[in-house]
Chains A and B, each alone.
Chain A
Amino acid sequence: MTGGLLLQSILTGLTNGFVYGLVGLGLAAIFRGTRIVNAMQGDFSLIGGIAAVLLLEKLQWPLAAAMAAAVLLGALAGWLVELILVRPLRKRGGTEDSYLLLTLGIAFAVSALVLYFVGRDSHALPGIGGEGIIVVGDAAIRVHSVWLIAIGLAVMLLLRLFFTRTTVGLSMMAAAIDAEGAATTGIDVALMRTLTFVLGGLVGALAGVLVGPLVTVHYEMGLLLTLKGFAAAILGGLSNPMGAIVGGITLGLVESIAIVTVSSGYKDVIAMTILIIIMIVMPQGLLGRKLRRGG
């Protein structure tokens, strides 16, 4: 194997890793604020991606405006999901399993609605910096991928600051960890939970507009992204805000290095086996803390 090939596999692994990580970040954020594993996180990305496509193609909006609007639409979707669907279930005494099933149902619904109204075609979304590439030695990376990585890192840091430094962020955490205690200190627990979903929708849609140029946007992309994002978030440890990104990068790198060193057919076997081993050896996740097993 040549050095160029290894470098290429690292660049590819990083790109894919940040894709998984961005979805995982939203998942982890919602988990931190509500203790719900959101099986429709990837569908926030679908909402963001398809909104950007429609704004660009049907209304001819400029790229930056379409992206911004798509991200805001994702936040709106998060707000609606919490208000109309998650909150009634909580009132009726939802269990951990029923939230999983509910969000899975919402994922099916979003995907079905996109299929019905937009169709089954894949849509290409232009990347930041077009299709341009940066050549590094004998390897190449898309300009857009570099932006994706930079934005992914920025989102990770902002989320960290948000949850540790701002009143709203701390209140969200408090509401999730001890709802009654938080309520006695004057925190509006219901509002905090809604805001958590708004945040999750925002991050998810951002992931969608960033992933769209790499994978093309289509109605079935949601569940696929959720599965990889879930793996990234759990692997990194749900309790640490940086976990999802670290987990995503690990998964992405293992996959792409498995391709160039072993076999492309067996890459998932290798990646998933390593994933299981890491979980058994490090029961707190890559960046987890003690006493918060499995999140």
Chain B
Amino acid sequence: MEIQCKTSKEISGMGHPMKRKEDARFIQGHGRYIDDIKLPGMLYMDIVRSPYAYAKIKSINAEKALAIPGVLAVITGKDLEKYGLHWMPTIMSDTQMVLPTDTVMYQAQEVAAVIATERYIAADGADAVEVEYEPMKPIVDPHTSLDKDAPLLRPDKPGKTDNHIWHWEVGDREATDELFNKAEVTVKEQIYVPRIHVASIETCGCVADYDKIENKLTMFMTTQAPHAIRTVIALVAGHVGLTEEKIRVISPDIGGGFGGKVPVYPGYVIAIAVSFLVGKPVKWIEDRSENLQADSFARDYHMTCELAADKNGRIQGLRIKTLADHGYTDAAANPSKFPAGMYSIVTGSYDFQTAFTEMDAVYTNKPPGGVAYRCSFRVTEAVHAIERMVDRLALEVKKDPAELRMENFIKKEQFPYKSALGWEYDSGDYHAALKKAMDIIGYDELRKEQAEKRKEGKLMGIGISSFTEIVGAGPSRHFDILGLKMFDSCEIRVHPTGKAIARFGTKSQGQGHETTYAQIIAEELGIPAEHIQVEEGDTDTAPYGLGTYASRSTPVAGAAAAKAARKLRDKARKIAAYLMEVSEEDLEWEPGKFSVKGAPEKSKTIQEIVFAAYTNHPLGMEAGFEAVHYYDPPNLTFPFGSYICVVDIDNKTGEIKIRRFVAVDDCGNIINPMIVEGQIHGGLTQGLAPAMYEEFIYDEDGNLLNGTLMDYLVPTAVESPHWETDRTITPSPHHPIGAKGVGESPTVGAPPAIANAIVDALSHLGVTHLDIPITPFKVWKVLKEKGAAG
């Protein structure tokens, strides 16, 4: 779909495929990532981790470690306990150990920290710390977590008598049960979305730098949410004197976040504590193994899904019961009032009469987490459930899955649409997106080919996913994190010569904010994007915001940019009227200048106007040309798309070849089509990952069996197919520039398209579902069961 640009290429407002401003430093090795930061006198921290999933700590002997020249200290939970810093709160109002005083709750949990003058010596020190454990039988399978004889994992929590964390439900239980009782057709599947990890190529780390004389902490940290982190540090450590005005969080260039750099990990807190005590900078950088084994996981939902319909496949009701494995504490990164995130988007793109979903979260001896791996808070799990179930229904009623979707989609004219679980979808045209994807891939021809192939005994499958996302948290009446409302912000300062700096409460991790935010402002003010410097990540200079995750930067901070720029345009109009001695109503705006209606030769450029703001501003008006806006969105945005995947399967080895994958996305108005397309490519590969490769496997003792990149299978360029992308454009009616988020749509939409294609290839053998990741081994096993392994 063609994009209409209102600005010239020189201005490069919205719609221009502007090359990225941030690239110059990255392609020349001048990015500044956390491990590139080196401060005078800096110490290094390494962490001793538990080999057991559940054990009592009998003793920690640091003697040998401390005997190594250069090892300065070994910090244990008992040391932190003296300052009340051995536990910390989680976003979900649970508690998490910084360092344990008596019990370890998962394999690779932090047990002690070694501080040394050099990185290598710190590693030697960690190796030399002797810890004596008394291992206990862990809870690994969440299904056994609520058994009567299960050990109580959190006796530290007053009044806790079992391992149940919370129950959450939404929808009309009675009406849904009644509908299912009467329904002509019902289908049911157990669907597991496995525990996975974001595995950004840069791991996490920090340099905590406490200056004893200034009494100021500067915290360099790989964080997606620097401002919220500053407040959290103040809340946790205010009692020892670290109050918020004395804390500066700096998030430097980030080597990929994907949700994994939202939480506060124990290592950060220990580094701060040590720096505070010794008055020197302390660097802590995770190894990849530590990153995979201990940092927040994603997903891990066991879902029992049911769909009710009439005999023609007209969808009526949805019922889902989920068991969520949270590890030993609920450290999920969700808005505080949403323990299951936005899972209630699970009715998807379909017009349901009624729906009900409930969830129980339990403790196990696994690492905590529940971050949104490139997804807006549990949307991936929800979309996987609904898109798999729609295919399951199509199979049941013997209807083509494309046709069944077309018949059940919410119609274009139904928007804004109130979903059965309470969301108000802003805009959509689901039929158009699917139609476009079908046309591009040649859907009807593929179905014919598939029929021919089946006659020859060959396995080929076509899978569709028509997802609806929910991003841009969010309206402050519903969305907060620890009480902090989920607005976001932009501050624009235009210098006298017409060049600007804009600062935001968000933090790019590769999304290209330095370019796209500049384009939004260029669109609104007509100042060339090239001349707008974008800065994020320094809490001393940027306005407060909740950060970048859940595809919220464009919907929230992008809107703030437009709003702040419009405040400036209003001021510019006043100045222009003053300069040209006409009334404001007589002025016409086109990007970059105001001209007098009917006398276009009489005009003032934005640069002239800004100069006047500093040199010749009207009496009574404040000098300068600055604005700030804190944007509180009226609603979320609902990007959508239709993906179609074609697979060929080797019936002897189970190997799966993705022949084609077409993605049609709709994220409303587009700021930079090059960047949007790049976001989609990346998200698709991160959707492919859990669909066919990535999953954490634990043995019965709670040992993680694939905690390195040798066995945790991040796809390479060989596994990743050549993605084909296209778009439809359905603007968001409530967003100032009509945009929606996009970075996460493909991660959310791709897994069911791939799973549906593979199941489709095997459906004539009686296969109705396979859990992701679907590996050749899994396919071979099912072929063997069905007597179809070649």
Is chain B found bound to chain A in the same assembly? no
Which residues in A have some Cβ–Cβ distance to B below 8 Å? none
